[in-house]
Amino acid sequence: MEIGLVGLGKMGGNMRERMRRAGLTVVGYDRDASLSDVGSLAELVAALGTDGGPKVVWVMVPHGEPTRATVTELGELLGEGDVVVDGGNSRWTDDEIHAALLAEKGIGYVDCGVSGGVWGLENGYALMYGGSAEDVAKVQFAFDALRPEGEFGAVHAGRVGAGHFSKMVHNGIEYAVMQSYAEGWELLEKADLVDNVTEVFRSWREGTVIRSWLLDLMVNALDADPGLASIKGYASDSGEGRWTVEAAIDNAVPVPAITAALFARFVSRQDDSPAMKAIAAMRNQFGGHAVQIEPPAGGDANPDA
């Protein structure tokens, strides 16, 4: 079986290797010529089809315009009965647009949410895919090669868009779980009561109801950098958290934990929160509560506080 793979970064490169280890023929293309097997998308498509089956091209590029441009070009290169898989972190609303574009030429479309990160090469990737049963069947050989061993780890979530929507919600949950671990760690460190916070976290890895792979990774991080002293308290977001909150609003579903976790990331990007300045000022006005001020050159802040 053979497949084309567009985008050979940290995820795509490892996915190529995992599929090759499973015996698949993978033709990869990347703008970085040092990673690429061919020189263009046209060469990639031309190299497929030697097994007599439909051509399948899996796209692993950044969401938005890079994915849109790639899908559009593939629509000009592939033929009736072929299939494009978008395995990036596209917004589910883009999937219907891409599917309709390709359908005009008889090309199938499957969207696939992929989870597993840099560990997926060895452990397998959790896959959530959407599309018609006919199109999914054409890609099943790749899903089988990429998924983890065992009963779970892959699901045909529904129609086009269902895969990316499921992955979006998965990532929203991830935001909230990580925020909970982070807040718990900060409280344990701040209380000056627990002798070894890292060992407390480590103990939770067995037998507790909050054990998880994210907890394992948190312990790994604390082992590598006790107190996380070398890391700046800044967390970006890649889009799925925002989309989860927006979808919740559209469907009138309350998601306070996920929303709070997303907003906490926004707060992390402020060296000095303007909102907190306003709150401190109001507390001072109504209750005479002390406010922290910037110290004068060579002096101390709030010398009389």
Q: State the amino acid at position 208 in one-letter form.
A: T
Which residues make Cβ contacts (< 8 Å) with residue 219, sequence separation at least 6? 198, 201, 202, 205
d(CA 88, CA 220): 27
Quote the crossing angle between the two packed helices 162-190 and 92-103, to the nearest 10°: 160
H/E stretch holding 76: helix 65-77
Q: How far is CA 162 from CA 38, 128, 137, 176, 303, in A?
A: 32, 8, 16, 21, 59
Coil, strand, or helix at residue 24?
coil
Strand partners, 155: 128
Catalytic residue among 2, 55, 138, 167: 167
Q: Please indicate whether residue 10 is annotated as part of the active site.
A: no
H/E stretch holding 149: none
Q: Please indicate whether residue 151 is annotated as part of the active site.
A: no
Phi/psi for 3 (5° steps) reads -155, 145
Catalytic residue among 138, 174, 232, 240: 174
Instruction: Please say whether the beta carbons of 35 and 28 come within 8 A.
Output: yes
Q: Which residues have a catalytic role annotated? A: 167, 174
